[in-house]
Amino acid sequence: MDHQIREISYWRNVRSKMRLQPFVHAVESSAVPIAIADPYEPDCPLVFVNDAFLKLVGYSEDEVLGRNCRFLQGPETRDADRKALREAIRTRATISHEILNYRKDGSTFWNELHMAPMLDDRGDLLYFIATQVDVTDRVNRQDDLKHALDVKTEALRDQAERTHHMAREMTHRVRNSLALIQAMLRMQLSSLTDDTARNALVGALSRIQAIVEIQRIIEHADIDAKVEIGDIIGSICEKLDHISRANVAASSDSIEIGEEMVTPIALIVSELVTNAQKHAYGPDEGGIIAVTARRHKGGIELAIRDDGRGVPEDFDPRAIGGFGMKMLLHEIDHLGATLRVERLNKGTAFIVDIPARDGE
């Protein structure tokens, strides 16, 4: 008991000496809670607190002087916040940090703590000074808003999932109807002998096939899921491979794209492969039509190469007035891409340079 009385007396003497400092006189009656700790004493104890601080924490002056301020922490104080304060003291840094503190009666409050080193004229450390602001109401409002936002977000996610399932079902039905149309057109194609009519029907079949594959990919994709471009061009080429004597082969780097790019790319591949099948080879000729997708200068290089008869030197795709070419150029423009046509030693390369989009 005598030891405790002597200790209280010692800290009262320290406080009396600090009162002589003009700074302490200025903050003693401040409405802002203020505490000062001595880093040269063991465990960096508090050596001054003003009345606003005592009112905030519910302790008397004798109960706090000489103690490290960690007595304000409790079981729900986050370890990361404790560590942040220890690190600021170790490095003598200025810090502003929210930490959960406990009053004497066990009630909690969120403390917006601002702590800084006090230096003398030579820059040497004298004390640590800290101000406290009770921001419990603000933190609780933020928590309530976050909870309400989480509830709303979850509700929207559920609604999006239900809508996605409905879209899948509709897509499945559309795909079945398109498959039936394809079967009917193939039967009609087998009976046609006129080249113009056959080419027109082949073009229609390839576009329908592209749409079927687009529907299939979208049907099996999750919400906001990325799609491998290799899956798209591989599926399109597999379906078009049987239309002519030329073999259609696909290869791709591992490149993920958003759902909004699936349709343009599928239609571009379908149109260019079909054009090669119709125009690069004679009726009884075969060859290889190679479709590739490569990473290129921050974007994607989509190329369709054939080893057929080639295009004329003055070939200009934008001068062609057919529906297929117009659709092709529309999809290329939609992607912000460019089309290059290269005449090879044998055949032609149609190269679509697709720029990277934000976040890709």
In a domain, 229, yes or no: yes
223: CATH = 3.30.565.10
Q: Report how far residue 172's alpha carbon sits from residue 167's, in angstroms, rounded to the nearest whole number.
A: 8
Average pLDDT over residues 48-52: 91
In a domain, 360, yes or no: no
Residues 314, 174, single domain; the answer is yes
Most confident region among 204-218, 219-233, 331-345 by mean pLDDT:
331-345
Q: Output the pLDDT for position 53.
A: 94
129: CATH = 3.30.450.20
**What backbone phi and psi angles, to 5 degrees, belong to 312?**
-65, 160
In a domain, 359, yes or no: no
Is pLDDT at 297 greater than 70 in this prediction? yes
Query: Among candidates 29, 16, 11, which has minimal Cα distance to 67?
Result: 11
Distances (CA, A) of 50 to 95, 199, 340, 358: 20, 92, 77, 54
pLDDT band for position 19 (cuts 50, 70, 90): very low
Q: Does the predicted model carry a pTM greater than 0.75? A: no
Q: For 107-194, where are the alpha helices, taking DSSP H only?
A: 136-190
Please, are residues 48 and 69 in contact by the beta-carbon 8 Å criterion? no
Residues 161, 91, single domain; the answer is no
Please, are residues 44 and 92 in contact by the beta-carbon 8 Å criterion? no
Q: Output the pLDDT for position 172.
A: 60
pLDDT digit string, tens, across residues 338-356? 999 999 999 999 999 999 8
Q: What angle do CA 36, 37, 40 make, to 5 degrees?
A: 145
Task: Give the containing element (helix H, strand E) for 45.
Answer: none
Total domains in the fold of the chain? 2
Residues 309, 187, single domain; the answer is yes
Residues 115, 180, single domain; the answer is no
Average pLDDT over residues 219-243: 76
Residues 167, 78, single domain; the answer is no
Of the residues 117, 134, 151, which one is the last residue of a structural domain?
Answer: 134
Torsion, CA 193, CA 197, CA 198, CA 202, rounded to 10? -160
Q: For 191-222, where are the alpha helices, taking DSSP H only?
A: 195-220
Residues 79, 163, single domain; the answer is no
Window from 49-53, 151-155, 176-180 with minimum mean pLDDT: 176-180
163 lies in which domain range? Answer: 142-354
Of the residues 134, 155, 175, which one is the last residue of a structural domain?
Answer: 134
pLDDT digit string, tens, across residues 131-170? 999 999 998 898 888 888 888 888 877 776 776 566 566 6
Residues 88, 206, single domain; the answer is no
Of the residues 134, 164, 187, which one is the last residue of a structural domain?
Answer: 134
Q: Output the pLDDT for position 147.
A: 87
